[in-house]
Structure 1
């Protein structure tokens, strides 16, 4: 029965390329040595972006999901890779952010001062590529155990990025991150074992057809979701994220905030909307929405109270991912309506993508400020926008998206979520969305005010930066704003490949 759900489609080999290209690059760096690391990485970034775009084009052209059965062994004996519309959007978004971060790092490591040691540069490129491969596996994987392996690869690639500079402070933050991630992995793996014992398969499409209300599945899903929440740093399991993201180098912080925490959120989305039976999905959605709303409000207030720029951005990350969890009750669907046909589904996907672009732009802009002035103390940054106008503009544009100000991707996302909250009868979620936007405006305008302030004496700068370093952050911020031109209605591309789940029994 499970074998009938999968068959390799034309273009399915592109999914394999998306996974193995970064791995091959890591092996090439090991073989060729540190001097070739940057060249190999940049070539791989270009090729990986082309593959992600090709997958998206193939999805649009075919109007159906892409599938590749590895080794011609279909589940449950083998494993399959599958990309639907949401997977395609995630692959392209990931590629864009990774390419931008790679360009930023290439310029930064090329500067004479502060370029880092040879070991630091090589480690960065290897971990960035390994992280990219792990993310792609998460977005196209169909087997729950293989997804566990991908999450572990993601963790062990992300943790070294946190402590790349070798300082004791960042090492402690990395160890805390590792502890939360390993506990989350243990809970996830326990859930996987329960599901396999109950159903004899770990394939997501098969589980969507076989799942039924029973205590074993409910316990398994609860364990897996809690484990993934620890990795996603949703309130109150967010304690590891602010020190880890704030202490890491700017290029690492951008990847961690924009991409790494999105992988467990993506899997929670699939578990709740694709695997969980109706009543379990409803209960899980309600609980996740409560935690998401608490995350928005609490961590937005914490962001307002921070004295350091990167720490403020890190708390903002925890607040903004809360919007992704209020999607679950809003996208529950109803009679004759599937979850992926709702405006909440489109709003959640746009929030996920626009947040990644905006937050990576913010962290890169903050990294430029730190490089020029040697610190990120907000109180001592008065007038920095006059010396770094491009970086200040990038931060401001990204902030517009976080606040939900038109025209920006964040505006469309929050507008769709707000509309869904009103239509579906969740006034408390509507109020949370509005308050979250106001609080985001508070901490964003706090930095803009500092950027535009007239300082009594010029800020002492420690180093200059090339213009192309600032343009990278600006490009990501502009991309977040351009998402605001997406129509305010369910986006057809995000529905590609979801009908297969309906036919599987959803």
Structure 2
């Protein structure tokens, strides 16, 4: 269903699922605090399981009908009312977020689940409530069709993530959380200023209405620039990445998995909506090349920074900075030029494949890093010897996740980078093609650096403590999902075209 038709058609069959996906986690938060003890975490588990079922149902309906799901809240049509809409991309992202959130809860259940004596723990309430809030906020973000409602969803994601960053309560984590908050507030101010200018110029923030009326004048270009700068700060794209590595280093492993896999993707999702759906008329090639250039810098410099790290969690965090960069090649490769529509669609699929594959691979890698800390008491890369024999599943998880980051087949990362590479070569963008290949080589360097240490024999006196088998299997399961994504056909994915603006 086109965006313009939502106001007149009302809810499509199954449209209520979009409301349920937002409301259910919020209700679960209330239940968590009211029940507490043993039953509050169990209510959280039920809500996270229900989120997966809802997301699967949404994806199934979108795929079966070939049309987006839509729902007009309260029957009030846009621009005064709130319309929810889930196209193919929204459905895929909803399912990705639901699976990773549930996996993070299962991984962290030993630490943040109910205690046998039924006594409440503050850390448990904070972590589980934040996880539910992130899920609700992401679903709002993925289904909103208004630039202000998208902003509300993004801000809820940010303020739900900050408690996870500062959960340990140490001075280091509090400083990291404060830095994250400052970058987030700075980004929010710029984005809000941008959409205020847009509203003043066009009298609406509805995406469909803007797409039909926006003009490339000075005010609109200024507004788009301000909003983009704010979103880049929230996405942690180079050079706005300074908040991300400290935030990951101090957060618990399950929290880092959610931050890297989901939280930074929220602002990127909004950025894609802004330029491809709301403001396509002002999408100048020079501006898109600038975004791609920042992405290329992130790929190279983020990978070099990862190579220089001495701690495993920081290496994985800087790898996130690098992998985010690939996603920005879409801005210059996906806009269709005459005779290049097929290549543009290929790039579009490659970009979203990178987002999803990175989410699963990086969540698994952070979980593996958390198990390394538990087993050895540290995450110093130079002292990882013995893990290959002591924790073979953890080592395998890191290796399988690394396949996707390097872009080695069969993996989702390979499919994503291959599609982006084909689009870049087909359109004559040799520089971006070179960066894509070089980024894979650099990723191989830091992944094999870690694996080489893990596979070495342990020096005398070093013991590897046993860790939870369940946690190992959760991490390995997410890594295997990133590999299974590589079995999809190396061609444009039809699901990602459903509901896409022409």
TM-score for both structures, normalised by structure 1: 0.95
Residues 127 and 160 in structure 1, CA contact (< 8 A), matched pair in contact too: yes
- Provide the C-alpha distance between the structure 2 equivalents of 1:339 and 1:331, rounded to a whole number of angstroms: 9
Residues 272 and 281 in structure 1, CA contact (< 8 A), matched pair in contact too: no
- Of the candidates 294, 298, 301, which is equivalent to residue 301 of structure 2? 298
The answer to whether structure 1 residue 269 and structure 2 residue 269 are counterparts is: no
- Provide the C-alpha distance between the structure 1 equivalents of 2:5 and 2:282, rounded to a whole number of angstroms: 27
Distance change in 2, residues 1:240/1:3 (3 Å)? same
- Of the candidates 478, 484, 487, which is equivalent to residue 485 of structure 1? 487
C-alpha displacement of 1:335: 2.6
Distance change in 2, residues 1:306/1:3 (3 Å)? closer
> Which residue of structure 2 lines up, in the alignment, with residue 75 of structure 1?
78
C-alpha displacement of 1:394: 0.7
- Of the candidates 455, 460, 466, which is equivalent to residue 457 of structure 1? 460
C-alpha displacement of 1:339: 8.6
- Provide the C-alpha distance between the structure 2 equivalents of 1:265 and 1:110, rounded to a whole number of angstroms: 31
- Provide the C-alpha distance between the structure 2 equivalents of 1:357 and 1:337, rounded to a whole number of angstroms: 31
> Which residue of structure 2 lines up, in the alignment, with residue 466 of structure 1?
468
- Provide the C-alpha distance between the structure 2 equivalents of 1:37 and 1:300, rounded to a whole number of angstroms: 41
The answer to whether structure 1 residue 219 and structure 2 residue 219 are counterparts is: no
- Of the candidates 5, 16, 37, which is equivalent to residue 40 of structure 2? 37
- Provide the C-alpha distance between the structure 2 equivalents of 1:105 and 1:88, rounded to a whole number of angstroms: 26
Residues 3 and 74 in structure 1, CA contact (< 8 A), matched pair in contact too: no
- Provide the C-alpha distance between the structure 1 equivalents of 2:31 and 2:238, rounded to a whole number of angstroms: 40
Residues 211 and 281 in structure 2, CA contact (< 8 A), matched pair in contact too: no
- Provide the C-alpha distance between the structure 1 equivalents of 2:149 and 2:339, rounded to a whole number of angstroms: 33
TM-score for both structures, normalised by structure 2: 0.96
- Provide the C-alpha distance between the structure 2 equivalents of 1:185 and 1:33, rounded to a whole number of angstroms: 33
- Provide the C-alpha distance between the structure 2 equivalents of 1:467 and 1:84, rounded to a whole number of angstroms: 38
Aligned pairs, how many? Answer: 497
> Which residue of structure 2 lines up, in the alignment, with residue 495 of structure 1?
497
- Provide the C-alpha distance between the structure 2 equivalents of 1:221 and 1:274, rounded to a whole number of angstroms: 13
C-alpha displacement of 1:364: 0.3
- Provide the C-alpha distance between the structure 2 equivalents of 1:271 and 1:230, rounded to a whole number of angstroms: 15
> Which residue of structure 1 lines up, in the alignment, with residue 170 of structure 2?
167
> Which residue of structure 1 lines up, in the alignment, with residue 391 of structure 2?
388
> Which residue of structure 2 lines up, in the alignment, with residue 353 of structure 1?
356
- Provide the C-alpha distance between the structure 1 equivalents of 2:298 and 2:51, rounded to a whole number of angstroms: 34
C-alpha displacement of 1:385: 1.8
- Provide the C-alpha distance between the structure 1 equivalents of 2:405 and 2:476, rounded to a whole number of angstroms: 15
Residues 12 and 69 in structure 2, CA contact (< 8 A), matched pair in contact too: yes
Q: Greater CA deviation, 263-272 or 476-485?
A: 263-272
C-alpha displacement of 1:464: 2.7
- Of the candidates 16, 21, 35, which is equivalent to residue 18 of structure 1? 21
- Provide the C-alpha distance between the structure 1 equivalents of 2:467 and 2:189, rounded to a whole number of angstroms: 44
C-alpha displacement of 1:94: 0.6
- Of the candidates 65, 70, 78, which is equivalent to residue 62 of structure 1? 65
Residues 113 and 124 in structure 2, CA contact (< 8 A), matched pair in contact too: no
CA displacement, residues 217-237 of structure 1 (integer Å, 9 cap, x when unaligned) = 111111111000000000000
Q: Matched residue of 1:81: which SS?
A: strand
CA displacement, residues 221-265 of structure 1 (integer Å, 9 cap, x when unaligned) = 111110000000000000000010111100000000000000000
Unpaired runs of at least 5, structure 2: none
- Of the candidates 124, 128, 135, which is equivalent to residue 125 of structure 1? 128
C-alpha displacement of 1:111: 10
- Provide the C-alpha distance between the structure 2 equivalents of 1:146 and 1:275, rounded to a whole number of angstroms: 13
- Provide the C-alpha distance between the structure 2 equivalents of 1:394 and 1:284, rounded to a whole number of angstroms: 39
CA displacement, residues 383-424 of structure 1 (integer Å, 9 cap, x when unaligned) = 212111111101100000000000000001000001111011
- Of the candidates 420, 423, 428, which is equivalent to residue 426 of structure 2? 423
